[in-house]
Structure 1
Amino acid sequence: MASRTAARRAGTGVMLLVGLVVAGLGPAAKPAASSMSPADLEQLRIGRIEVAGNLTLSRTAILATVRARVGELFDTASAEQDIQRLAKLEGVEYAYYNTAVEDGRVVLTYVVVERNLARTVAFVGNRHFKDSVLSRELGFQQGDYLDVFQVNAATARIVDKYREKGFAFAEVRLDESQLDRGRVVYQITEGPRVRIKAVRFEGNRSLEAKELQKAIKTKPRSFLVFPVDFNQDTIDADVITLQRVYQDKAFLNATVRAEVDFTEDRGGARVTFIIDEGPAYAVRHLTIRGVPAADPNLLPQDLKLGEQRIYSQQRGEYDAKQIRSRYLEQGYVDAQVAHRRTFVGDSQVDVDFEVDPGRRYRIGRIDVTGNQTTQDNVIRRILDEEGFTPGQWYDADAARGDGQGELEVIVRRTAITESAKITPGPALPDSDRRDATVSVIEGQTGSIMFGAGVASDSGVVGQIVYDQRNFDISDYPQSLSDLIYGKAFKGAGQRLRIAWNPGTVVSTFSVSFTEPYLYDRPVSLEVGAYGFERWRDAYDEGRLKGYVTLEKRYADRWRRGLAVRAENVDVDDLEYDAPIEVRDVKGGNNLFGLQFFIRKDTTDNRYLPTTGYNFTASYEQVGGDHTFGIVSATQRWYRTLYEDLAERKTVLETKLHAATIVGDAPLFEKFYAGGTGSLRGFDYRGVSPRGLQYNPTTPIVNPQREDAIGSDWILLANAEIAVPLESESLAWLFFIDTGAIDSGGIRASVGTGLQIQIPQWFGPVPMRFEIATPFMKESEDETRTFSFSVGVLF
């Protein structure tokens, strides 16, 4: 009997059957199997080497893998090693060898059993999803080796895909009978698509249903209009969310479960969240231990917990964090605060905060690492401005070491890094100082952006922007490749911005260079040029301006500065009946201005402020072809009116703006009201004194006052409430705008709208759609009910 051995990988019953069939066919065409013992065979030389069972593997590839050669003595150990090597080839399920004797020589046959291929992949019964969509859920594709475990796992992924879209009763079955032929067939029964018809709450005695609804994602309608698919995973997550909501409201023992009732046709689902609130826990005694070791005055005054106040784990953790933060910011780098609670009776707890302040440290040496392109002083001057310098108390709250501290965020944003972490060095026994290491990961600082926008006030506008926020004007390229690959003009933290915005109504271009730390001090220098063209009602206006701005920043957030501008304003293409105020400034007008300004910003967020205010006031003296002054002041306040259970904030924004001309200014420097950001409900520049129609060559019969010529002063007062809907990026707006100019009485409008914040890597881009109706206006005012602004970068 021929000797036969095999090395096998893990496989399926189907693969084994195929291998046995191939094995049976292979030796049938060979000489009679040898009955010699292995020891006797090893006395013979190999006369011929054959290959069997291969379907996709070539004979050459197999023979190149084995070590046996014709003419050599047959060796059992070597043959065993050969089949081990064959079994490792890609696509081979397992391998073995056969021997036979012919004319006194060994005929050695290597048999390989290849893995089956997924020769076809098919979906049967799918109507909602195309084959191409379902194929992306498989994890394999046609032509890959057939892995039965992977093929079966894909069944669950297809089901999940259907469940995500509301097909709660979808079933997917793999037709295993066709696998041996390399056919992967999924039989799909989609069932009805289930929509949420109603969401109810039972047992919610303390919290209103409308508040609970805001905290969860399961709801009958999305954005008040679109139907919502049934999703069991979402419901399960909502159960956890509701339990957390109740626990945060002091109901520590609250339990929540969900029941689903499907409609008769299974196309709808009514979800009921059944709540057992349990008792609300209150604080009986609150104790803070360990404070005498430090300074009791360090304790924050705005703790959320207190005796007879409601208790929640979240409030306790918040207070512990607040207490620790107060110590950290005063130099207690290793301060720890433990929060413990003890239940007393059925609805009370005793709360203990154990404070371990540790030693107090000043800042020692500061090292900066990770900045391969950015210069050290770019980061150090930020630390200097924020007061994080050697010898000062080590503020470990602002420099938390996790990249989320206030100082770390400032470094990341100002130095334009991907991340910034400030960590303390080891404590030394005889030193009151801790070294600090600023570790940064540099990010992308330069970009070329293309965009477009449309607004009711300015028409369609395109946008092309080059922005380098880590510019270095003195870093000249050493070679052409430095310039091509962006290795030059980088690293000093300066900013170069070039923008061109062509539009149907208004077109602009600008070039600006900004040095945020002039001579490494908190003084910014901006030098720029600006061009502007706009088609007005009675004329076309073109501007070309150069300017220089200096601004000094102070520790209390105040800023003051001065700006110089040289500008040419061209007024041309006048209408035949343009008023005399327009004709008086026809052609080029040269202006030279010197402006002094102060401003302050205490808001909590640059893009979506919820608290704080910003204030700006300025006086500009203008000379040249016209001599006049401009006094202006603007104040904005932000206040959070309400925060729902999902931590979405309803914010009130109020604005007061006043400005006046000192002297006699041309109409293109005067004030106009109306439009977005001014008086909604009125057309852009729709509130203004009007000039009398005039033509110097052809007198106009019965001239009217039609074209806006600007006011010598303006006063605006606006109030707007933004109520978040699905998220803080989508808000419903309610507003009232009022204003006055030097002609007519007070104008006022009321309205509503929708605000959408589109996320971008540099910050959100706002979209606004607003409807407003004036209820106080003058007869010559131009109104507009609907206004909008839409912009996007791509």
Structure 2
Amino acid sequence: MQDTMFVLLMSMVLAASSGLRAAEPAAGAEVLSAGDRGGIIKSIEFEGNQKFKDHVLRQRLGFELGDRLDSFLAEGGRLTIAEVYRKIGYAYVEVSLDRDQLSRGHLLYRIDEGARVQIESVSFVGNEVMASGTLNKVVKTTDRKWLLWPFYYTEGAVEEDLDRLREFYYDRGYLDYKITANTEFTGDRSAVRVTFVIEEGPVYRVGDIVLSGNAHFTNDELRATMTLREGQIYLKPTAVRDAQEIARMYREIGYIDAEVRPRPRFGPSPGQHMVSVEFEVVEGGRFRIGRIDVTGNEVTQDKVARRVLDEYEFTPGNWYNGRIAPKEGGGLLERYVQHSAVAEQVLIRPVDPEDGAADRKDVRVDIKEGSTGMIMPGVGVSSDSGVIGRLVYQQRNFDITDWPDDPSGLLTPWKYFKGAGQSFSVTLEPGTEYSQYYVEFVDPYWRDRPTTLNVLGRSWERFRESYDEGRLKGYVGFEQRLKGRWRRSIGFRAENVTVDDLDWDAPKEIRDVKGSTQLYGVKLGLGETAVDDRYRPSRGYAVGAEYEQVTGDFTFGILEGRYTRYFTLHENVLGHKTVLAGKIRAATMVGDAPPFEKFYGGGTGPYGLRGFRYRGVSTRGLQTNVESPRRKDPIGSDWIFLAGAEITVPIISENFAVLFFTDSGTIDTGSYRVSIGTGLQIMVPQLFGQVPMRFELATPLLKDRADERQVFSFSAAGMF
């Protein structure tokens, strides 16, 4: 395209100068007469092309049969074809255009593809501090692609690698680098050896840090947020992150246009290899929020968006928080409103007020509505639950008050009950090992307050190791989100548990609870969530504790606690983050609980230990009705402790990620367990919301001899 534009530009220059002098052709270019401009293109043909089919090359040209014949566009096509070949390694391709045919409206391109140049080797010379193995990971040029296919030479790829190496050294404080590339072709021009010649130069350190332009915050206040320090090696990414954090500080309190520009300045004595880093702050104006208009929503009620804004204090009269709602878009507040409204897209933008006030910005919340209801049949496979059939009716933007005027409307419920941001679902899931049927209603802003109401009715049956377990449960729960990131909750359950169809050698602990058991529980919870993004956390922590008191046919308590910490290890230019998450979870029984309420480790659930089978880590019960009984089937443990860590590395986009993890834990019997593994995480927000699908491979390093292993696991569950 650039070559074609160049030819067009040259045509204008030649036309303007035709009355002054005759244009001289560039060396190697074909001489094309002005008479070749006119008529139409009658044919486009190619000779000598083996790598590409004719129709592929025609698509790249940018013009087609019947277009006006223009010799300069024809010449641009010749350059385009050559570039197509060079991009995949045909460094010596030659393309010519038949002038005789051109004068008659026929474009005939003759192509001499030449040899495709393969990369024979890639090496580095002159690098002393950075190991060649490290630099190999920086460049994309290699002698093998995916360890199998050859990698072919292009000048553009080598130039891009030079840029990558230069950026790599500059980001690490080597500001005097000199990096070039040498190419040595074999005699038959079928292969090339690429050598990157590197002069690293000295590493530069930070001499002093200068802040300028800041009036609202003092230098000390800004320095307190920075990680760059005098005497440290100058790292450009660190300086950029500090500048971004300072800008966020300003934007959070109404300076929505604030910008911070980090600039290294070389000191007066070059031999000292020091730089002065200046952070130039451009504060801009400070604005409060004026009127808020919600637009674009036809079905979704305004309050669905306004309740989210209210929860995050993004309301008229407050400072415009440009940290969570940046003027350029892509902020957390947009994502939260989008999730609440189940919209395709949400844009939050500041606009100038109609009265022209200089210290205020009105806000426009533009909602692009999407499909919120669905009837979804399907079949799934879970490593914990086997094969499961599925039929789901779900309305993710439900309104329990939107009843039809005519009772016949109840036959088409998907036309009604919409717009209030609630969720209602009916799920039928018959399966080979596990079957469940439930109805659930969720209101995330019960009575228009930041309180989630959850009502659930569920019936399920699962085939256990030595018995069948069925449950009929009703549940009502409330979770209130308090200011300052704290949450408190209360939940009530009434449940009937049936244990039947026992194996002949079932343990005594299972036989003791055969039949029906009535349970009634009250659960209290308290937690704090201090993360940068509640749906995709990359920094911060979440901590919580819950206690449930259960009565009925058994009286006992369940005490649980958990802590998760998130760290961003790397963030690329697209904002995709590599995240390390560490977790600790512990739980214990208070009193004598039945086996079906105790703790089982393994699998991928709340007490998951990947590398071990679901319920594969448990205290074992002694067989009955056999001559030589042994401890075989799990009967649950009175306490459990789990600890693990996981690294999520995005590939392609944040919706596709590679996982590396280690899980560990112990129960009241056996030794400490440890496993390591890897996996793939896929998120499809349009279908499953913020619930990822995970495919994982894990192997135990430490285990108890009674444990059951499972190398592969699949789940559709919450985040780590």
Q: TM-score range by the shorter chain?
A: 0.7 to 0.9
Question: Once the two structures are superposed, what CA deviation does each residue of 1:268-287 show, in whole Å capped at 9, x if it has no partner?
Answer: 54433333445544444433
Question: Structure 1 residues 626, 275: CA separation in 2 closer, same or farther (over 3 Å shift)?
Answer: same
Deviation at 1:552, TM superposition (A): 0.1
Instruction: Answer yes or no: is the 8 Å Cα contact 2:388–2:429 preserved in 1.
Output: yes
Q: Is the 8 A contact 1:607 1:764 kept in 2?
A: no
Superimposed CA distance per residue, residues 309-338 of structure 1 (whole angstroms, 9 cap, x where no aligned partner):
455666555544433432332334565656
TM-aligned CA deviation for residue 570 of structure 1? 3.7
The residue aligned with 2:619 is: 689
Answering whether residue 656 of structure 2 is matched by residue 733 of structure 1, we say no
Q: 1:366 maps to what in 2? A: 292
Q: Which amino acid aligns with 2:540?
A: G
Q: What are the ranges of 5 or more consecutive residues in structure 2 without an aligned counterpart?
A: 1-36
C-alpha displacement at 1:588, in angstroms? Answer: 4.4
Tell me, in whole angstroms, the C-alpha distance in 1 between the residues paired with 2:680 and 2:59. Answer: 35
Q: Which residue of 2 aligns with 1:506?
A: 434
Contact 1:445/1:469 (CA < 8 Å) preserved in 2? Answer: no
Structure 1 distance, partners of 2:216, 2:571, is 37
Q: Is the counterpart of residue 522 in structure 1 residue 450 in structure 2? A: yes
Which residue number corresponds to residue 66 of structure 2? Answer: 145
Matched, 1:532 2:460: yes
* Residue in structure 2 matched with residue 437 of structure 1 by the alignment: 363
| 1:386 maps onto 2:301 in alignment | no
Q: Is the 8 A contact 2:435 2:462 kept in 1?
A: yes
Deviation at 1:138?
6.1
Shift of 1:595: 1.6
1:103-182 to structure 2, matched below 5 A, reads 137=60, 145=66, 165-168=88-91
Please state whether the residue corresponding to 2:612 is helix, strand or coil. Answer: coil
Distance 1:182 1:248, change over 3 A: same
Partner of 2:641: 715
Instruction: Answer whether contact 2:404 2:416 (CA < 8 A) is retained.
Output: yes
Q: Which stretch of the first structure deviates more once superposed, 173-182 or 534-543?
A: 173-182
Say if 1:364 and 1:433, in contact at 8 Å, map to a contact too: no
Give distance in 2, aligned partners of 1:685 and 1:639.
Answer: 30
Residue 71 of structure 1 aligns with which residue?
A: none
Distance 1:258 1:457, change over 3 A: farther
Question: Structure 1 residues 687, 333: CA separation in 2 closer, same or farther (over 3 Å shift)?
Answer: closer
TM-score, with structure 1 as normaliser = 0.71
Q: Is the 8 A contact 1:470 1:491 kept in 2?
A: yes
The residue aligned with 1:474 is 401
Aligned partner letter, 2:674: S
CA shift at 1:754, angstroms? 3.5
Match of 1:767 in 2: 694
- Secondary structure in 2 matching 1:299: helix
Amino acid at match of 1:243: R
Equivalents in 2 of 1:525, 1:591: separation in Å? 22
Matched positions, count: 668
Q: 1:259 to 1:604 in 2, by over 3 A?
A: farther
Q: Secondary structure at the match of 2:637?
A: coil
Equivalent position of 1:419 in the other structure:
346
Distance in 2 of aligned mates of 1:711 and 1:626 = 16
Q: Please give the secondary structure, in 2, of the residue aligned with 1:602.
A: strand
Q: Structure 1 CA distance, aligned partners of 2:110 and 2:308?
A: 63
1:755 and 2:676 correspond: no
Deviation at 1:191, TM superposition (A): 5.4
Question: Offset of 1:489 from its aligned partner?
Answer: 2.8
Counterpart check, 1:201 vs 2:124: yes
Q: Tell me which residue corresponds to 1:617.
A: 545
Q: Which residue of 2 aligns with 1:603?
A: 531
Q: CA RMSD in A?
A: 4.3
Aligned position for 1:489: 417
Counterpart residue type for residue 680 of structure 2: Q
Contact 1:525 1:551 in 2 (8 A): yes
- Equivalent residues of 1:692, 1:706 under 8 A apart: yes
Report the Cα distance in structure 1 between the residues aligned to 2:254 and 2:664, rounded to whole angstroms.
48
Residue 323 (structure 1) aligned to one of 246, 260, 273 = 246
Identify unmatched segments of 5+ residues in structure 1.
1-92, 95-113
Q: Tell me whether 384-393 or 493-502 shows the greater mean CA deviation.
A: 493-502
> Deviations for 1:512-551, whole angstroms, at most 9, x for unmatched residues?
2221111111111122233434332223333343322210
Deviation string 1:55-112 (CA, Å, 9 cap, x unpaired) is: xxxxxxxxxxxxxxxxxxxxxxxxxxxxxxxxxxxxxx99xxxxxxxxxxxxxxxxxx
Is the alpha carbon distance of 1:157 and 1:333 closer, same or farther for their aligned partners in structure 2, counting shifts above 3 Å? Answer: closer
- Alignment match, 1:273: 196
| 1:572-624 deviations in Å (ceiling 9; x for gaps) | 44333333433444454443332212233333455664432222321222334
Identity of aligned residues (%): 42
Shift of 1:568: 3.5
> Given residue 691 of structure 1, which amino acid in structure 2 is its aligned partner?
G
Deviations 1:317-361, CA, capped at 9 Å, x for gaps: 554443343233233456565656654443444444454646655
Cα distance in 2 between the residues matched to 1:650 and 1:313? 19
- The alpha-carbon distance between structure 1 residues 296 and 409, as it changes in their structure 2 partners (threshold 3 A), is farther
Instruction: Report if the CA contact (8 A) 2:564-2:582 is conserved.
Output: yes
Deviation of 1:200 (Å)? 2.6
Give how far 1:423 is off.
0.9
Q: Distance in 2 between matches of 1:578 and 1:512?
A: 35
- Distance, in Å, in 1 between the alignment partners of 2:647 and 2:48 is 50
Residue 714 of structure 1: how far off its partner (Å): 1.8
Cα separation, 2, equivalents of 1:533 and 1:153 = 70
Q: Which residue of 1 aligns with 2:610?
A: 680
CA separation of 1:769/1:484 partners in 2, compared to 1, >3 Å: closer, same or farther? same
Bigger-Rg structure (1/2): 1
The CA distance in 1 between the partners of 2:301 and 2:156, in whole Å, is 50
| Alpha carbons of structure 1 residues 318 and 686: separation in structure 2 relative to 1, 3 Å | closer
Provide the secondary structure at the position in 2 that maps to 1:243: helix
